[in-house]
């Protein structure tokens, strides 16, 4: 017979008192920088969770890509895989096994707000490894806090959150944690964090492979080589085995690089045979803008450390070689892995600047002042020459002045001065270009704060559509109606538009793969005419003119109809 352990009330009370004492000691042990650290993270997280929820409620989220990932996750939770919004299977779109982890939440009713909230929390969680990496290198919690502020407020990261959920954003914090594990020589944790990163998208493996190169160059040869081989192997497994198996016509992004090549070998060959194709593409993409925009929030300290820059290099180059101009901007999710590299480079760049200043200071403070004043002159000149960047350059120049004065007058406070400049630069850049500041509220499409009459009409339209109906809807309805097996974005399936993969037939004709579903299967149509182009509007008019369709709602250019 099993014995039951009885805890005496006095013993239970002592345990409770001991636990409370530990909690009090932990709270008392919090330094002011750590208190501010948690406050900054909390404020940032609440701001974006609330504002993204507001964005969704006002119908400013879209099928591409929030609706795609919402339907994909819902389908996986139901044991199904074909994403009708995109026209590809779950495993033929991207290799995102991390989304499977969300299935239990979807059983409980999770949806787009959950995805956006998870993304914000995951991004904000990157502040923890940033703080620890900075403390490891700089031994100063105030400077670590300044770099955390720069990470959270850096322009690209905020725009990526505003874009709404994308899986690669979930990989930012795990990659930063993996780098921290390297610094602390915790190799088991390192591999766990790499798995936590690569499960979100196949091309994370490219950055992981480059991390292996960085490790090998920094003396961790064995772990570096294994990491490099693992990254390359996983990437080729995904792109040459998994994606072709589920999408025989080939990955949809194989055409992103245009005539430069659609495989690594083709890229290498064309780089040797047709180098001008690459130089022309870099010029068209204005290649210097991308690293500049990534480094500006960090006061360009990222350029003082090579490991982080090397880590970011592959994805930066691929983004610039892409024929689609949106990949050249830091406002889209393609900047996720470059963000990891430039953040690490900034932290180590600050450490390198301190060491450099200490060496130079031994030779005379005048030399320090001369170098910094020269940097100020360059920054101001660049600001005057570059239209629209005078304010930014002036702010950075002012920062250099602060560093110069500190280096001469208070050399022991040089590190704190650099940290202040980095944090101030992030705040200035964020105030000028990020979506979290006052100017954004003047754009109703950025953060729509009001529930307008049109929003009420859209809500009424959504409520009319049955939960299990086969539907075709406009893109602003997709994220609100994606929890079903069959939902298309109009004009699909009558006319293919951003659906499936373009497949070239032996006779030279281009057709969509897989073939679209029969339009006669559509039971309901719900569209906001303001989102449709002329061709789609004409098609909608022709479809609804048929006696097979009955319009049940028509208000403020919002139409809902069902098959009679």
In a domain, 53, yes or no: yes
Query: In percent, how much of the chain has pLDDT > 70?
Result: 81
Q: Does 50 score more than 50 pLDDT?
A: yes
Domain match, 464 and 407 both: no
Q: Does 212 score more than 70 pLDDT?
A: yes
Query: In percent, how much of the chain has pLDDT > 90?
Result: 62
Look at the chain and report how many structural domains it folds into: 2
In a domain, 65, yes or no: no
pLDDT, residue 146, reads: 92
Domain match, 490 and 356 both: no
| Alpha helix stretches (DSSP H) within 78-220 | 90-93, 103-107, 112-125, 127-138, 141-153, 155-162, 172-183, 187-198, 204-217
Q: What would the pLDDT profile of 307-333 be if each residue is shown by its tens digit?
A: 999 999 999 999 999 988 889 999 999
Domain match, 410 and 536 both: no
| In contact, 486 and 499? CB cutoff 8 Å | no
Partners of 473 in the beta sheet? 489, 526
Last residue of a domain, one of 417, 439, 461: 439
Domain match, 300 and 212 both: yes
Domain match, 337 and 435 both: yes
What is the average pLDDT score of the chain?
86
Last residue of a domain, one of 405, 439, 473: 439
Domain match, 496 and 528 both: yes
Look up tokens 């900034």; give the residue.
Answer: 346
The boundaries of the domain holding residue 334 are 32-60+111-439
Summarize the confidence of residues 419-430 as an average pLDDT. 81
Report which of residues 381 and 190 the model is more confident about.
190
Look up tokens 């208190």; give the residue.
Answer: 35
Q: Does 173 score more than 90 pLDDT?
A: yes
Last residue of a domain, one of 382, 406, 439: 439
Domain match, 419 and 534 both: no
* pTM for this model (two decimals): 0.88
What is the DSSP code (8-state) at residue 202?
Answer: T
pLDDT, residue 405, reads: 55
Q: Does 17 score more than 70 pLDDT?
A: no
Domain match, 481 and 418 both: no
In a domain, 531, yes or no: yes
In a domain, 299, yes or no: yes
Partners of 127 in the beta sheet? none
Q: Does 387 score more than 50 pLDDT?
A: no
Of the pLDDT bands very low, low, confident and very high (cuts 50, 70, 90), residue 381 is very low
Q: What would the pLDDT profile of 223-257 be if each residue is shown by its tens digit?
A: 999 999 999 999 999 999 999 999 887 777 777 88
Contacts of 403 (CB under 8 A, 6+ apart): 372, 414, 417, 418, 421
Least confident of 270-274, 285-289, 415-419, 460-464: 415-419
Closest CA to 49 of 129, 146, 165: 165
In a domain, 520, yes or no: yes
- Residue length of the chain: 564
Domain match, 433 and 529 both: no
In a domain, 87, yes or no: no
The H or E element spanning position 349 is helix 336-361
Query: Degrees (nearest 5) of the Cα angle 184, 206, 149?
Result: 55
In a domain, 457, yes or no: yes
Report which of residues 343 and 496 the model is more confident about.
343
Three-state SS for 231-269 is: HHHHHHHHHHHHHHHHCCCCCHHHHCCHHHCCCHHHHHH
| In contact, 321 and 257? CB cutoff 8 Å | yes
The H or E element spanning position 286 is none
Domain match, 308 and 371 both: yes
Domain match, 262 and 140 both: yes
Using DSSP bridges, classify how beta strands 88-89 and 471-473 pair: parallel, antiparallel or unpaired. Answer: unpaired
Q: What would the pLDDT profile of 490-519 be if each residue is shown by its tens digit?
A: 999 999 888 888 766 666 666 667 776 789
Buried-state track 207-240, b at ≥16 Cβ within 10 A, e below 16: bbbbbbbbbbeeebeebbebbbebbbebbeebbe
| In contact, 537 and 501? CB cutoff 8 Å | no
In a domain, 426, yes or no: yes
Domain match, 432 and 465 both: no
| C-alpha distance from residue 446 to each of 76, 294, 365 (Å) | 31, 22, 48
Least confident of 73-87, 119-133, 188-202, 289-303: 289-303
């Amino acid at each position: 017979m099993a014995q039951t352990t009885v805890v005496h009330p006095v013993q239970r009370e002592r345990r409770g008192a001991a636990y409370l004492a530990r909690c009090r000691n932990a709270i008392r042990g919090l330094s002011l920088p750590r208190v501010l650290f948690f406050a900054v993270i909390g404020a940032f997280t609440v701001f974006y969770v609330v504002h993204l929820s507001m964005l969704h409620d006002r119908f400013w989220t879209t099928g591409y890509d929030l609706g795609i990932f919402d339907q994909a996750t819902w389908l996986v939770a139901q044991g199904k895989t074909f994403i009708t919004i995109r026209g590809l299977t779950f495993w033929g779109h991207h290799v995102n096994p991390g989304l499977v982890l969300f299935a239990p939440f979807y059983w409980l009713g999770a949806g787009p707000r959950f995805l956006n909230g998870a993304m914000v929390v995951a991004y904000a969680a990157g502040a923890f490894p940033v703080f620890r990496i900075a403390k490891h290198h700089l031994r100063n919690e105030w400077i670590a806090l300044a770099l955390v502020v720069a990470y959270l407020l850096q322009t690209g990261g905020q725009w990526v959150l505003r874009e709404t959920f994308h899986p690669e954003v979930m990989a930012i914090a795990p990659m930063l944690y993996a780098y921290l594990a390297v610094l602390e020589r915790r190799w088991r944790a390192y591999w766990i964090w790499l798995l936590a990163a690569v499960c979100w998208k196949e091309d994370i493996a490219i950055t992981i492979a480059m991390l292996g190169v960085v490790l090998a160059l920094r003396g961790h040869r064995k772990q570096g080589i294994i990491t490099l081989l693992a990254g390359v192997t996983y990437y080729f497994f995904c792109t040459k085995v998994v994606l072709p198996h589920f999408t025989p016509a080939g990955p949809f992004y194989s055409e992103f690089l245009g005539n430069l090549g659609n495989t690594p070998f083709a890229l290498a060959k064309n780089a040797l045979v047709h180098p001008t194709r690459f130089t022309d593409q870099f010029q068209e993409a204005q290649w210097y803008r991308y690293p500049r925009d990534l480094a500006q929030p960090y006061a360009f300290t990222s350029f003082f450390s090579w490991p982080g820059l090397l880590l970011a290099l592959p994805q930066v180059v691929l983004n610039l070689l892409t024929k689609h101009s949106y990949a050249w901007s830091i406002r889209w999710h393609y900047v996720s892995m470059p963000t990891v590299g430039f953040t690490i480079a900034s932290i180590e760049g600050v450490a390198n600047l301190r060491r450099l200043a200490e060496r130079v200071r031994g030779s005379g403070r005048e030399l320090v002042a001369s170098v910094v004043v020269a940097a100020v002159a360059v920054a101001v000149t660049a600001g005057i020459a570059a239209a629209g960047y005078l304010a930014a350059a002036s702010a950075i120049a002012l920062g250099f002045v602060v560093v110069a004065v500190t280096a001469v007058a208070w050399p022991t406070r040089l590190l704190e001065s650099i940290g202040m400049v980095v944090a101030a630069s992030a705040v200035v850049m964020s105030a000028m270009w990020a979506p979290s500041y006052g100017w954004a509220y003047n754009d109703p499409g950025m953060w729509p704060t009001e529930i307008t009459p049109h929003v009420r009409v859209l809500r009424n339209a959504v409520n009319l559509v049955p939960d299990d109906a086969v539907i075709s809807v406009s893109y602003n309805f997709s994220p609100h109606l994606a929890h079903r097996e069959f939902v298309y974005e109009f004009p699909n399936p009558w006319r293919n538009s951003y659906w499936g993969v373009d497949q070239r037939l032996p006779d030279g004709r281009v057709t969509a793969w897989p073939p679209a579903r029969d339009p006669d299967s559509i039971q309901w149509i719900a569209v906001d005419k303001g989102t449709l182009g002329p061709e789609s509007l004409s098609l909608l008019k022709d479809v609804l003119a048929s006696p097979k369709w009955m319009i049940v709602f028509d208000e403020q250019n919002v139409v809902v109809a069902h098959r009679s």
